[in-house]
Amino acid sequence: MKYLLLVSTSFLLTACYLLPTQKPSPWLVIDTFNTKTLTGWQLADTQNNTIPFLENAQVTEIRPFDLTSDLASASDSVSASIKGATANAPTTDNAPTAEPRPVPNPVLSVNNGYLIKKPAPDGVVGNRKALSFKALPKPVPVGETYTFYTRIRVERFPNNHAFGISNMHPADIIKHGYNAFEPTLRVTDKAESNGFKNNGSLMVKIDSEDKYRQYANVKNIDTNKDAKPLQEGEWYSIWYVVNNATVKNGGQVYSVYVKGGEFASQSLVYENANFRMKRELPLIYFLANCNTGPLKQPYGNGGLAYDDIYMSEGINLTVPY
């Protein structure tokens, strides 16, 4: 009887061991902001014209979700046991050619947080390029297609934000600013120099001979109209499918899908938007940029919140949790 029990136990253990394990997620984490301080991010204010001069003007920090408001609007990704604390992240010196100062590693974790990014604190204007960037966990080679996923929420308008993917290293990101972007998404209600007023809709980069028409609003295909302005306080999920093939092979373009606001379910909102520079190099950094506008005509520094930034090989329109 003793030997029978031993054999039975051995069989059960072997059977358990042989059970198929869950497949690893195809999504690679860029950041989920579930720690007190930023990890791996570099910050630089490369055109800091604030008066009085504020050396580290940009606000780029992790904040905890608030149970009474944030949890309700982001219930698909936030646990009911949220706790945490806000920690300021240091920025770099005001010099376009200076090496970016790394942000310290976290010491303690929080259950869930998000990144708030602003060019400067409330009431401060004149910071024209507030850069925040982090290396991708895996480069996107030339010729490959990857899907990027990001959740965003407008803190408030007026503002001017852009985010996307770069094929430049830190020193060149600092040097080139907006021209370090390739696939780019934009959120702003600023007026352009020719007087055209953006309305706060999500925008993509397009090729255009008109210097004032470098972005286009995403579309609501059901209504055949431009999408509505992003709603303040509303979380939007964005999938951007990035084709990093050469131009000759139909690449250097990206398509965008959105869920949130007027889009009750995941919706294709733009096909074949254009890379900004088309350098045809491996994509290696996630990049976010924002600015308050010039001192003489500031257009505001409302923040944009980011959460759950992921990447996945190929076309992947699932939710990465």
The neighbouring-strand residues paired with 63 are: 114
Distance, CA of 234 to CA of 74 (rounded, Å): 8
CB 113 within 8 A of CB 67: no
Q: Tell me the residue type at 151.
A: R
Residue 20, pLDDT score: 56
Q: Which two tokens stand for residue 174?
A: 């600092």
Angle at CA of residue 292, ends 239 and 46, nearest 5°: 85
Distance, CA of 242 to CA of 142 (rounded, Å): 11
Distance, CA of 119 to CA of 282 (rounded, Å): 28
Residue 86, pLDDT score: 29
Torsional sign, CA 94, 98, 100, 104:
negative
Residue 211, pLDDT score: 85
Q: In Å, how far are 56, 68, 96, 119, 176 from 92, measured between CA atoms?
A: 7, 34, 10, 13, 16
10-residue mean pLDDT profile of the chain (321 residues): values are: 45 46 90 95 97 96 75 40 30 40 42 92 95 98 98 97 98 98 97 88 96 94 95 98 98 98 98 98 99 90 97 98 75
Torsion, CA 68, CA 151, CA 115, CA 153, rounded to 10: -60
Distance of alpha carbon 298 from its chain centroid, rounded?
Answer: 24
Residue 242: name the closest of 230, 233, 250 by CA.
Answer: 250
CB 312 within 8 A of CB 26: yes
Distance, CA of 61 to CA of 38 (rounded, Å): 7
Residue 119, pLDDT score: 97
Angle at CA of residue 239, ends 314 and 115, nearest 5°: 120
Q: What is the largest CA-CA distance in the chain?
A: 91
Residue 255, pLDDT score: 98
Report H helices in the chain: 2-18, 70-73, 170-176
- Tokens 């009911």, located at residue: 80
